[in-house]
Amino acid sequence: MHDIIQEIHRLKAEKNALILAHNYQAIEIQEMADYRGDSLQLSILSAAVKSPLIVFCGVKFMAETAALLNPASKVILPVIDAGCPMADMISGEQLREFKAQYPGSVVVCYVNSTVEVKAESDICCTSSNALKVVSSIPPDKTILFVPDRNLGSYVAKVSGRKIITWNGYCPTHQWGFSLKDVQDLRAKHPDHQLLVHPECDPVIVDSADQVMSTGGMVKYLETNDRVIIATENGLTDYLKHLHPGKSIISLSPKAICQNMKKTKVEDVLSALQDEEYHITVPSEIAHQAKSAIDRMLALK
Ligand code: 13P
Ligand code: SF4
C-alpha cells in the first residue's frame, strides 16, 4: 500500500494533477486527496482550480459537475460505474412531462441529478444552499423540486413555499435510519446533539437538533464534542479519524452508500496512470446544464 501511495504522489506531481474527494469517500481516499468537501464546496473548487487533470473521487454526477464548470481541465472518475441511484430516478424526458403539467413553474434541481435533468432545470441547489436557492425565486411562483422528495419537503417546510416534489430519494438516507435508532441513541446519549442530513426521511429530519449538509457537519465538529450523526458512514468514519478525542456516534452503521465506496486506492492510481474514464458532457446540453449551476453559484 505504501508503494501505491508513493506512486500516486509521484504521478500527481508529474502530471500536475489534483485529487478531489467527497466527504463520503473511504478514509484512505480522503487522506490522499488535495481537497475534501461536500457537493457545493467541491463544485466551487472545481470551477476555481487550474490543474490540467482532476481525479474526482466521488460519484458520476459530481465529476460531470466538475467537467461542466471547468472545461479546461480533464476530469477523471476512477470507477466508471460509481453512480447515484437518486440521480437516476428522473430522466430529462420525465422532467419535460412534469413541467408540462405545471406551466409557469420554476424547476429547482438538486445537484444529485443527470446532466439532462440539469439542462431542463432553471436552477440547481445542493443540500447546503437549497433554502437560499428556493428563497431567491419570486414568491408567486410554484416550484418543482427534483429528484429528492425529502430535501424538497424539508425546504418547503422551512421556507413556507409551495413546492411540488418529484418522488425520488437516496436509498442510503431513506432506509438507513429508523425512529427506533433515534429513540435508543437519544436515551443512551442525552447530552449529544443529533445532526441529520436533509436527504433522510422526514421522520428522522423532524427529530433532529440540527439539519445540515456533510460540509455543515464537518464545520460543526470543529467547535462541538458530542454528536450523533445521521448521514452516510464515510463522513462519520472520517470525523472520528479527525477528532479521536470527541464522541461521534453514527445513528446507524447500515447507512453505507455502495457507490461512494467503490473507489479504492488502486483505482486512484489507475486513474492517474491511464486517465481512462474521462468525463465529458454532450455539447448540445452542456451550456444549459451549466447555466442552472451558474445561477446557483451566483447567489450571494
Ligand atoms: P452533501 O455533500 O451536499 O451534503 O450531499 C450528500 C450527498 O448525498 C452527495 O451524494
Ligand atoms: Fe446518491 Fe445517496 Fe450515494 Fe449520495 S449517498 S451518492 S445521494 S445514493
Does ligand 1 have an atom closer than 6 angstroms to the CB of 127?
yes
CATH of 87-169, one of 3.20.20.70, 1.25.40.10, 3.40.50.10490, 3.40.50.10800: 3.40.50.10800
Measure 103 CA to ligand 2 centroid, in angstroms. Answer: 30
Q: What percent of the chain has pLDDT over 70?
A: 100
Ligand nearest to the CA of 175: 2
Q: What is the CB < 6 Å shell around ligand 2?
A: 59, 84-86, 112, 170, 172-173, 199, 232, 257, 259-260
Ligand nearest to the CA of 21: 1
Inform me whether the pLDDT recorded for 235 exceeds 90: yes
Residue 146: strand, helix, or coil? strand
- Please say whether the beta carbons of 220 and 241 come within 8 A: no
Give, using CA atoms, the residue closest to atom 7 of ligand 1: 39
**DSSP annotation of 263:** -
Inform me whether the pLDDT recorded for 226 exceeds 80: yes
Does ligand 1 have an atom closer than 6 angstroms to the CB of 214?
yes
Q: How distant, in Å, are the alpha carbons of 143, 156, 162, 235 from that of 98?
A: 12, 18, 16, 34
Minimum-distance ligand 1 atom for the alpha carbon of 232: 8
Inform me whether the pLDDT recorded for 14 exceeds 90: yes
Q: What share of the chain is helix, strand, coil (3-state, %, to 5)?
A: 45, 15, 35
Inform me whether the pLDDT recorded for 46 exceeds 90: yes
- Please say whether the beta carbons of 103 and 89 come within 8 A: no
- Please say whether the beta carbons of 58 and 46 come within 8 A: no
Q: How distant, in Å, are the alpha carbons of 38, 65, 75 from that of 71?
A: 21, 10, 9
- Residue intervals of the chain classified under CATH 3.40.50.10800 are 2-83+260-281, 87-169, 172-250
Instruction: Give the C-alpha separation, 16 to 154, whole Å.
Output: 41
Whole-prediction pTM: 0.96
Minimum-distance ligand 2 atom for the alpha carbon of 258: 3
Does ligand 1 have an atom closer than 6 angstroms to the CB of 65?
no
Give, using CA atoms, the residue closest to atom 10 of ligand 1: 112
Q: Find the angle CA(84)-CA(86)-CA(90) to the nearest 5 degrees.
A: 115
Q: What residues contact 299, with CB distance under 8 A and at least 6 apart? A: 129, 132, 133, 136
Give, using CA atoms, the residue closest to atom 5 of ligand 2: 257
Ligand nearest to the CA of 212: 1
Average pLDDT of the residues in 214-232: 98
Counting runs of H as helices and runs of E as strands, what totals does the chain give? 15, 12
Confidence band, pLDDT 50/70/90 cuts, at residue 300: confident
Inform me whether the pLDDT recorded for 107 exceeds 90: yes
pLDDT in tens, 237-262: 999 999 999 999 999 999 999 999 99
pLDDT in tens, 136-154: 999 999 999 999 999 999 9
Q: What residues contact 278, with CB distance under 8 A and at least 6 apart? A: 74, 75, 76
Minimum-distance ligand 2 atom for the alpha carbon of 112: 7
User: What is the Rg, in whole angstroms, of the alpha carbon atoms belonging to the chain?
Assistant: 19
Ligand nearest to the CA of 129: 1
Does ligand 1 have an atom closer than 6 angstroms to the CB of 213?
yes
pLDDT in tens, 156-188: 999 999 999 999 999 999 999 999 999 999 999
* Domain 172-250 of CATH type 3.30.470.20: no
Instruction: Classify domain 2-83+260-281 at the CATH topology level.
Output: Rossmann fold (3.40.50)
Measure 63 CA to ligand 1 centroid, in angstroms. Answer: 13
Measure 221 CA to ligand 1 centroid, in angstroms. Answer: 17
Tell me the residue length of the chain. 300
**DSSP annotation of 169:** -
Does ligand 1 have an atom closer than 6 angstroms to the CB of 259?
no
- Please say whether the beta carbons of 94 and 113 come within 8 A: no
Instruction: Give the C-alpha separation, 260 to 48, whole Å.
Output: 24
Ligand nearest to the CA of 168: 2
Measure 14 CA to ligand 2 centroid, in angstroms. Answer: 33
Give, using CA atoms, the residue closest to atom 6 of ligand 2: 84
- Please say whether the beta carbons of 163 and 153 come within 8 A: yes
Q: What percent of the chain has pLDDT over 90?
A: 99
Q: Which pLDDT score, from 0 to 100, does residue 236 have?
A: 97
C-alpha cell at 149: 422528495
Q: What residues contact 55, with CB distance under 8 A and at least 6 apart? A: 17, 18, 19, 20, 76, 78, 268, 271, 272
- Please say whether the beta carbons of 205 and 150 come within 8 A: yes
Q: Which pLDDT score, from 0 to 100, does residue 1 have?
A: 80
By DSSP bridging, strand 17-22 and strand 35-37 are parallel
Edge-to-edge strand list for the sheet holding 143-146: 123-125, 106-110, 143-146, 163-165
Kind and range of the H or E element at 10? Answer: helix 2-15
